[in-house]
Structure 1
């Protein structure tokens, strides 16, 4: 049986925030039949998702590479980690949590590590390929304290299937992505980090991004560890099922909530050139809701609906357009659909 809190949950907030939120750029969506030939051979290099910025840089002819040369010259992606850390001096996790609660959220999920391998907590598990590739401030811990103080459940998302600090090959297709799942010492590294996250923060929802890189036995042991540490916790279904381990990466009853991204289909990270969040003013395409709490209702099973927000990397703030959208949800003027 799923945890009772999950079956009753309505609106969730999914926070996607990485060093890619500093350049915060991706190419505009282009219909497949209008893509250049190189993009048809490597569509993921042309993806309109800012969180894939580092991967786009690995294709010299990609729009990301051209944008980066024009804007940052030969500055390496890793330098954005320093910018991200510097911006954390002004971060206000309490303000975020209050905005989420005011919108009627029941839980909030923070991406602890995405594909670039940058950790939002000072992990005791050292990255052997990129030293100090983490926040100096315990972002996960402060976020957990803030949202729980507002009565929200805590979710943690961890990208296990890809880590570009362990395997930096360019990913242009799904087949390339499968080949880029790191082997060698990476499964042990990822397992140690995930156990560290579970032990430190006891997340109510553990969200695995893509697949687990180890064996089915590794997966069962991790699930057993999580069940022991957080008996009422739930785990999602992997959203990109390109490996057979997907069937083991969930706890019974945990469904996948509906996702809404802040860039109108252009990724979950902040995109400075794209509208961040639908309908901050004017009529909502989903229509009004009876109340802020009711805005999250429905959606088929536990977890309700999941609204993604993409904070800025340069100042650790939620963009005004996204805050306006949350305020409209709270007032019942717009449903998160």
Structure 2
């Protein structure tokens, strides 16, 4: 019987890793899309209008896809945006997001997560809109300074680790709308929109920067990897060298995926009520359901938290869910 600290092939096996003992995680999705915080309500497929059936991702109830919805003039997002913001571009929300950081309390977030019984917390460092929550030194050639001036990820990492939790970083490698802005209406469109050209090198450099700076205990690649199998192997080896006890995910997505090798979460994030993980003003008061780990075990449950973009606070209904988890009465509650 191998000892708990024994390594296999230079990386801990799933059974031996900290991951196998984790009971609850917090997944924080916080981007400029959190400023409008809006998406259309979930509608059964057979009740969608004809245009939505041809381009269902333009009608998605996930608020983090707000920018994509704007690219379809007839979509609910486009109608909402015209009525609420006029012709204001999506990129302007980046400035609102930056301004709200003056009131951000990362230590308070971390205390709430730990009080709920969380063993780890994951922050989306870059989602599909390409906005980075750290002052990356890797220049985006298509949207200058499309990142926070403040090291949000670094402060988040310091806060969660100070509370005794592990750090997870989620990075959208498969889609970046600053490199490929074509409207995505279907899974086929999404596959075609994985950026090529100079993007794989950009994503690889950013991922290495994240590993080098923050040493994440959990490294989560969103959707696919845009480069080659050789790129994937090189990044995997770099991560395993930098974080020997780190865990990498195997993302489950609707797209044909190059899967990162290595032990990791047996699921992708799919909140049960269909409202996505980003802040949604009109989502049901109960909020999204926690994600359960799959049959491989490990990771426990993952509770989605979507902070507000305009004031950097966690909505009251989500704080109540964290309090319920702490009392052992809510859907995020754990035992044992």
Using a 3 Å threshold, how does the CA distance of structure 1 residues 276 and 97 change in structure 2: closer, same or farther?
farther
Q: CA deviation at 1:265?
A: 2.1
Matched positions, count: 319
CA distance in structure 2 between the partners assigned to 1:135 and 1:278 by the alignment: 27
- What's 1:270 paired with? 279
3-state SS of paired residue (2:258): helix
Q: CA deviation at 1:277?
A: 4.0
List per-residue Cα deviations over 1:44-71 (Å, max 9, x = no partner): 0000000000000000000000000000
Using a 3 Å threshold, how does the CA distance of structure 1 residues 299 and 21 change in structure 2: closer, same or farther?
farther
For normalisation by structure 1, the TM-score amounts to 0.91
In structure 1, runs of 5+ residues without a counterpart are: 280-284, 287-295
Alignment of 1:95-106 (within 5 A): 95-106=108-119
Residue 251 (1) aligns with residue 262 (2): yes
Alignment of 1:211-290 (within 5 A): 211-240=224-253, 242-246=255-259, 249-252=260-263, 254-256=264-266, 259=269, 261=271, 264-275=273-284, 277-278=286-287
In structure 2, runs of 5+ residues without a counterpart are: 1-12
- What's 1:335 paired with? 331
- What's 1:191 paired with? 204
Structure 1 segments, 4+ long, off by >6 Å, are 296-299
- What's 2:55 paired with? 42
Q: CA deviation at 1:138?
A: 0.3
Q: CA deviation at 1:275?
A: 2.5
- What's 2:10 paired with? none
CA distance in structure 2 between the partners assigned to 1:158 and 1:10 by the alignment: 23
Residue 79 (1) aligns with residue 92 (2): yes
- What's 2:314 paired with? 318
Q: Is the 8 A contact 2:293 2:299 kept in 1?
A: no
CA distance in structure 1 between the partners assigned to 2:269 and 2:331 by the alignment: 13
CA distance in structure 1 between the partners assigned to 2:213 and 2:125 by the alignment: 13
3-state SS of paired residue (2:101): helix
Q: CA deviation at 1:334?
A: 1.9
